Amino acid sequence: MYKTPFNTGTLIIDKNEIRFEIPLDRINIHSLDKVERLNNFPYGFPIRLMELERNTRTFLMCFQPEVDYIPIKKFKNIATEEQKILFSKEVINLSNYLKENNDINSVLETRNIFVNREGKIKLLYRGIQGLMPAIGFNEEPLEIQAKRLILFMFSFAKLDELKSNGLNIAYNRSIQGWHEFVSNVLISNTFESLNKIVDEEFKRFNQELKVKKSNGNMSYIKYGNIDYKTQEKKLQKEEIEDGQVEKSQSKKSKQEKVKHKKSNFKPIGIGIGTVLAIWLGNVCINTDFFAKSTGNNSASKLMKKEDTEEHALKGLRYSSIQQYEDAIKEFEKVPYKSLDMEAKKSLLFAYLMTNNFQKALNKDTDFDESIVSYLLAKDRAKELEKLESKSDVIIFEQAVVRNDREVILKNYKKVKMNGRREGIVSNAFVGEEKYTEAFSFAQEHNNKELMKNIKKAEKEYYEKTEMNPDEKKVKIENLQKEIEEFK
């Protein structure tokens, strides 16, 4: 039997039964009729029993777990990338349900969430607003809670860390290959935009998977075969080892700590409340936080090591509490090339959050996709025209803003495709009356919806074109047959 404090009560796991007990003075239930509708909650395990125990002054809920569902932590470790995307869709569905049925509350934390192989979610505890508690549920918008669960799935951050230190820590700790997706989730501010981001990622994932199967071309696929479970275990092992060293050296000087520890610190699974201080301290003390200068007269040599560490530490602290202007001031006191990758990411993200897009590009042209995603999400694409850059992505997107079909078609092969860009390129071909090229492009990306729309556009073109009536009739009939084949 396992007991743990949960939601002002106690969660008890006993073999195949899970119970939640809470003192009667913490609820406002006098009749079980008021909570009967919880049995019909579509995202919950079946409630085998609900009972007001007058003798022990407790309210009891007994849940019947379903065999296909596992705790969310375990799911995160063993799930495939496709399963994690499906989970993200389910998070949005669950959140929308809770928003529409606002008389129901719950606790969206790891002990209360179970997931199956299709990414479907089941909660243990759920309650009625005003009658039963749900710690933290009403303190934050559901959009934030949904984003936290998705970011938890695609980063090495713990759910509690994301709650106590802010969602932005996921940006620096995103899983390999998912940095752009995490960035897009962070900047989304509505369920509609979040749902669009997840749909777009799922569509791209499936398209790239089909290309991989048909061509056997691994280089085209961004999703590598990563053993996340092994990787996270490795990080946890490193953290434990680092923690043991810190404990044994607690009475030694800072200088001795630096000398003793050479390996990179990988923060994972640190206790709530202390995570920020420990993480930042170890980043600055235990890693090669600043690259060695190659020039004899470089600014990094002129600055004392203690000063550079202090400015970087302050910058990370300000970033973690979303005080981006102050973070930028501290980071900019240190030469950019001397910053560790984590600090660089924090600075670039701070630039993004303060609309310093040109500064971010000047520091790192590879940050172009993040800037584009941010401006598109904010419906501010026109601001891309103000940027000065030789980045292929920026040049392409500036052409999109101007509706410059010639530049779009000249540069589209230089940028990474997604559903939106596929539509833009196809429209550019159609606008130039290059229907064969448009169809070939859509076919190459296995975008059947685009292929169908291109044939429709070609049909409309011939309907308006003056030509031999018989040839025109045959051409239009053939195009109509092709369109119908896509249904």
Position 221 scores a pLDDT of 29
Ramachandran category for residue 157: left, alpha or beta (phi over 0 → left; psi -120 to 50 → alpha): beta
Position 371 scores a pLDDT of 92
- Where among 331, 350, 376 does a domain terminate? 376
Residues 481 and 457 in one domain: yes
Residues 391 and 323 in one domain: no
Domain assignment present for residue 263? The answer is: yes
Using a cut of 0.85, tell me whether the model's pTM lies above it: no
Residues 465 and 412 in one domain: yes
Residues 271 and 369 in one domain: yes
Residues 363 and 341 in one domain: yes
C-alpha span between 232 and 206 (Å, rounded)? 26
C-alpha span between 361 and 354 (Å, rounded)? 14
Position 136 scores a pLDDT of 87
Number of structural domains (the chain) is 3
Residues 304 and 326 in one domain: yes
Domain assignment present for residue 447? The answer is: yes
Domain assignment present for residue 320? The answer is: yes
Distances (CA, A) of 218 to 208, 214, 223, 375: 10, 11, 9, 31
Position 131 scores a pLDDT of 94
Question: In this structure, are strands 47-53 and 17-23 parallel, antiparallel, or unpaired?
Answer: unpaired
C-alpha span between 16 and 18 (Å, rounded)? 7
Residues 344 and 260 in one domain: yes
Domain assignment present for residue 433? The answer is: yes
C-alpha span between 310 and 343 (Å, rounded)? 12
C-alpha span between 8 and 112 (Å, rounded)? 14
Edge-to-edge strand list for the sheet holding 113-115: 70-71, 113-115, 121-123
Domain assignment present for residue 110? The answer is: no
Q: Considering just the CA atoms, what is the radius of gyration of the chain in Å?
A: 27
Residues 408 and 435 in one domain: yes
User: Per-10-residue mean pLDDT for the chain, 487 residues long?
Assistant: 88 86 91 91 94 90 92 93 95 95 94 95 95 90 94 93 87 86 89 91 81 50 37 44 43 38 32 33 34 37 67 85 90 89 86 94 92 87 95 96 96 90 93 94 88 92 91 91 85
Position 168 scores a pLDDT of 86
Domain assignment present for residue 113? The answer is: no
Joined tokens for residue 223? 């999703």
Count Cα neighbours of 368 within 13 Å in the Cβ-side half-sphere: 17
Residues 268 and 368 in one domain: yes
Residue whose structure tokens are 């799922």: 202
- Three-class secondary structure of residue 150 per DSSP: helix
DSSP secondary structure letter of residue 125: -
Q: Provide the β-strand partners of residue 49.
A: 62
Give start and end residues of each alpha helix (H) in 101-136. none
Position 211 scores a pLDDT of 67
C-alpha span between 125 and 11 (Å, rounded)? 9
Domain assignment present for residue 95? The answer is: no
* Domain interval for residue 404: 386-485
Joined tokens for residue 14? 């006993």
Phi, psi angles (nearest 5°) of residue 168: -65, -15
- Where among 376, 399, 416 does a domain terminate? 376
DSSP secondary structure letter of residue 42: T
Q: Provide the β-strand partners of residue 11.
A: 4, 20
Residues 455 and 395 in one domain: yes
Residue whose structure tokens are 């407790």: 58
- Where among 29, 46, 63 does a domain terminate? 63
DSSP secondary structure letter of residue 267: -
Residues 372 and 411 in one domain: no
Residue 147 neighbours by CB distance under 10 Å = 24
Domain assignment present for residue 285? The answer is: yes
Position 368 scores a pLDDT of 92
Q: Provide the β-strand partners of residue 61.
A: 20, 50
CB 52 within 8 A of CB 29: yes
Residue from 439, 408, 436 nearest 424 by CA: 408
Give start and end residues of each alpha helix (H) in 16-80. 72-78
Position 17 scores a pLDDT of 84
Position 233 scores a pLDDT of 47
Position 134 scores a pLDDT of 92
Position 213 scores a pLDDT of 61
Sign, CA torsion 458/464/465/466: positive
Position 351 scores a pLDDT of 93
Residues 393 and 481 in one domain: yes
Position 234 scores a pLDDT of 44
Residue whose structure tokens are 């990622």: 201
